[in-house]
Structure 1
Amino acid sequence: MKPIWIVDDDQSIRFVLEKALAREELAVRSFTNTREVLLALEDEAPQVLVSDIRMPGGSGIELLTKVKERHPGLPVIIMTAYSDLDSAVSAFQGGAFEYLPKPFDVPKAVELIRRALDESVREEVRDERMAQMPEMLGQAPAMQDVFRAIGRLSQSIVTVLITGESGSGKELVAHALHKHSPRAAGPFVAINTAAIPKDLLESELFGHERGAFTGAQTTRRGRFEQADGGTLFLDEIGDMPFDLQTRLLRVLSDGQFYRVGGHNPLRSNVRVIAATHQNLEERVKLGAFREDLFHRLNVIRLRLPALRERREDVPALARFFLQKSAKELGVEAKRITDSALSRLMQFDFPGNVRQLENICHWLTVMAPAQVVEPKDLPPELMGGDPMALPRALTPPPAAESVNGEHAPATAMPAAAPWVPPAVVYPSNADAIAASPVMSPGGASVPTHWLADLERESRTMLQAGLPEVWDTLTRKFEAQLIHTALEITRGRRIEAAQKLGIGRNTITRKIQELGLED
């Protein structure tokens, strides 16, 4: 193991630390200024660097910056007798492992150095693994099955249907299928069919001729033309409008289509990969999805496991996302302790890999130190047993962006989809009716509707009716959306804003609940 370097112009500090670390049987090398350290770094590097912040010939902050340029993963502990805010902020912004104010307790200082030492050794092992990081991560048996399927499909251009919960990585699998296929040299074009308004989706897919509709000032190639010779990824295919499903079936059948407003048939040699988080068989039964299109897409089906089905992959994914977030933000990557990883592995992750990535982004910004401890994890992971967190008590989802993906939260990572909290109220109808809620203006409003809900649910449950949850949830959502649309005179975007949901969500719900005009 490499030695620990101590940098301080105060001989007494160097002496105390040298003796204390020697008792721990740790190798030490001391320096009196930053110039000596920078010269030594040309030939070797320490396991841990402990530096004073104010020294003749250069500050510890300047040294920290230069050291991090050469050795990004090296833990650096900054010492100072000037315990001011600017010094602490500068140290952490520069990527310091920890900030140690003087005078310090020697055993605690040694304990901190020992912790940095252990982290340094673990980081070296992780760096070796990260250097060999595959394009997709997963040691769990369920993910190994996915990898094997991708391997078997590598010489094929057959149509593939990818299923899995939202945030489980379906587009990543689609990329891998394209990359390892005979069409790898061709384009990979993706479109989220749930993110584009119904009246624009046809043009997005098939293109349009000049003058085909108001605003069509030029001829535009659609995604099928753009993907010619390559792969077209149709994400959230279950949300495609029914009339467009017919046109898609025609293209899949004979490779022929027309641009919007066009009269000449066009052909496109495209491999289609589709993905959905919905149960397409159920949507076929409900008449919301064409059965013939389902069978056309369902040639080969790949099911992606939820993150809670592959908990052993959480540590590797978390470290990867912490590295990725740090690179995107231009900061030093946070390191995470085994105890914090253990806590992460217990969480249910209703938002799957996307939620874990958002949490790691949150930690990169909000965690107070370079090493993430369990206490630094976001509140949603700290409230009791995460496995037992009721979905009704989780926060609303993050706002949806234009492309249909959930945007990262500014101060909280994305959590589980929100559902009406009626299930957590007392069962006594009188108590419910008597309990007030606060209106936006601060006035107390009787919650008689909760008493009605309690009576309705009790009646259905005692009668043994099936799917009570789905039935009442659909009624609840339908009434909310209907009321919001009535208030906004049918303006969906404004209604979505008032309800606190995304425009893609309200469009999908209107279709699912049969609220179309």
Structure 2
Amino acid sequence: MSRTALLVEDDSAIATVIVAGLEHEGFTVEVCDSVAGRDAALAARRFDVMLTDVMLRDGDGIESLGEVRAAYPAMPVIIISAQNTLDTAVRASNNQAFEYFPKPFDLDELVRAACQAAERSSGTASAGEAMPDGLPLIGRSAAMQDVYRMITRVLDNDLTVLVLGESGTGKELVAEAIHELGRRKSGPFVAVNTAAIPRELIESELFGHEKGAFTGATARNIGKFEQADGGTLFLDEIGDMPAEAQTRLLRALQSGRIRRVGGDQEIAVNVRIVAATNRDLLPMISAGTFREDLFYRLNVVPIKLPPLRERQGDIEPLARHFLAKAVKQGLPPRVLGDDAARALEAQSWRGNVRELQNLMFRAALLAREERIGADTIFACLDASHAGIPHDGDEDGDIAEAVARWLNASRFAEGALYHDALAVLEAPVFRHALRQTGGNQLKAAQMLGINRNTLRKRLQELGIDPEEFSTA
């Protein structure tokens, strides 16, 4: 069912992101930037909910709210204000505001409140009814508000975006938000991790190949560029792309045309590029491992994602979000205790948001009671950081240790292999790095895996090869 909202906001950047969030949940939104515009809009049509700033260009958004409430008693009102004082909160409460959000606000929470308000207005809300999942990015910290502002600036254009940030900070979520909230949302979203593709296959993966182009090419393959035509192509770990593939990527970005491997025909493609990397590309340019012209072609709009340690206030809401997400994946419902939240906030989170998500899934799985306490968090952290069994326990019987751990653990249906592997993998990698003095090439050879695969897994597990260096 269509829902309508009136947004009264004179900051165009903030208005853009709120409109995008509301439209994502099916709202039809009308925007005005003044008290006079508000009154004219209200006189012209009915709205299920009104969201209004306080300080508007022609007056105070709360001052005449009593008259609005009297004229439209069934319409819930949500107050948004940068005047984050007790007086503002009291005035909002006195005017029976449905909800009050100080700036900077959490967009996901604001959209949820608008959904609840609209349902109450239409009388369709029911007890225990699930609200929409909302947007993928969570956080009300100042650092995340800066990210939100940058996202809103690229929604109505096709500028190339380069998302920068440590491993696990949520770079793909930013790319998804840009696509889902932008003007290409009706097109495909195609993600490719360039670090996970073997060097000899990356051009075929990106641009496709013709039958017979190389040994094993038994049929034509449509590459990621063609798959993403009309939508968004997300190039993750762009800093790990081989030099020869960088050249062809640059040509495709410049011309808007690609050529399949083994083909002689150029194909026009219409894609929006969002790239991401956890590496510092400028030193790579100086070292000659990343093309300078490609960097400037990608770095049109850089968006820097903060590490989790710089957004401590977001840790608790993220943890609660992941517990709710765990339930949808078949894990038992859990409640985060206050002592557990404090324990989480005290951690450094080298693996960032991904590490926090994995830990909360593990805590939901292993907690003996509905309420997760600090003891469960510490136990999960010990398992995550130290590894079970620990590769330093040279006098123990590894097989017996693994068996004891498996017998003492509980796993979600279908999760045994991946959960066990995640715990056992870290000490194996540490052992290989210790044996090779931190040399990743030699460690990869010892393990029998690709060096790019090793590098990616080390980043995801929060293992620093420099700790094992013999230099």
Cα deviation per residue 1:312-369 (whole Å; 9 max; x = unaligned)? 111111111111112112x431111011011101111100000011001101111111
CA distance in 1, matches of 2:382, 2:262: 56
Cα deviation for residue 218 of structure 1 reads 1.2
Cα deviation for residue 145 of structure 1 reads 0.5
Cα deviation per residue 1:443-495 (whole Å; 9 max; x = unaligned)? xxxxxxxxxxxxxxxxxxxxxxxxxxxxx99x8333x743774xx7xxxxx52
Which residue is equivalent to 1:375?
Answer: 375
Contact 2:363 2:380 (C-alpha < 8 Å) held by counterparts: no
Which residue is equivalent to 1:234?
Answer: 235
Give structure 2 stretches of 5+ with no counterpart: 1-127, 393-416, 459-464, 467-471
Which residue is equivalent to 1:20?
Answer: none
Contact 1:258 1:264 (C-alpha < 8 Å) held by counterparts: yes
Confirm whether residue 157 of structure 1 aligns to residue 158 of structure 2: yes
CA distance in 2, matches of 1:350, 1:382: 14
Contact 2:184 2:231 (C-alpha < 8 Å) held by counterparts: yes
Cα deviation per residue 1:51-71 (whole Å; 9 max; x = unaligned)? xxxxxxxxxxxxxxxxxxxxx
Q: Residues 15-34 of structure 1: matches in 2 within 5 Å?
A: none
CA distance in 2, matches of 1:314, 1:504: 24
Contact 2:246 2:294 (C-alpha < 8 Å) held by counterparts: yes
Cα distance 1:288–1:255, how it changes in 2: closer, same or farther (>3 A)? same
Which residue is equivalent to 1:147?
Answer: 148
| Sequence identity percentage | 43
The size of the alignment, in residue pairs, is 306
Q: Residues 266-277 of structure 1: matches in 2 within 5 Å?
A: 266-277=267-278
TM-score by length of 1: 0.53
Which stretch of structure 1 is more off in the superposition, 160-169 or 207-216? 207-216
Q: Residues 193-204 of structure 1: matches in 2 within 5 Å?
A: 193-204=194-205
Cα deviation for residue 395 of structure 1 reads 9.1
Confirm whether residue 410 of structure 1 aligns to residue 411 of structure 2: no
CA distance in 1, matches of 2:181, 2:131: 22
Q: For residue 342 of structure 1, give the secondary structure of its aligned residue in structure 2.
A: helix
Q: 1:482 aligns with which of 442, 450, 453?
A: 442
Q: For residue 377 of structure 1, give the secondary structure of its aligned residue in structure 2.
A: helix
CA distance in 1, matches of 2:346, 2:391: 19
Cα deviation per residue 1:40-60 (whole Å; 9 max; x = unaligned)? xxxxxxxxxxxxxxxxxxxxx
Which residue is equivalent to 2:448?
Answer: 495
Q: Which has the larger radius of gyration?
A: 1
Which residue is equivalent to 1:179?
Answer: 180
Q: Residues 3-402 of structure 1: matches in 2 within 5 Å?
A: 133-329=134-330, 331-379=331-379, 381=381
Q: For residue 349 of structure 1, give the secondary structure of its aligned residue in structure 2.
A: coil
Q: For residue 308 of structure 1, give the secondary structure of its aligned residue in structure 2.
A: helix
Cα deviation for residue 131 of structure 1 reads 5.8
CA distance in 1, matches of 2:422, 2:200: 34
Cα distance 1:416–1:138, how it changes in 2: closer, same or farther (>3 A)? farther
Cα distance 1:151–1:191, how it changes in 2: closer, same or farther (>3 A)? same
Contact 2:332 2:365 (C-alpha < 8 Å) held by counterparts: no
Cα deviation for residue 378 of structure 1 reads 4.2
CA distance in 2, matches of 1:482, 1:346: 36
RMSD: 3.8
CA distance in 1, matches of 2:376, 2:181: 40
Aligned residue identity for 1:156:
N
Contact 2:237 2:276 (C-alpha < 8 Å) held by counterparts: yes
Aligned residue identity for 2:272:
R
TM-score by length of 2: 0.58
Cα deviation for residue 179 of structure 1 reads 1.4
CA distance in 2, matches of 1:147, 1:504: 27
Cα deviation for residue 415 of structure 1 reads 11
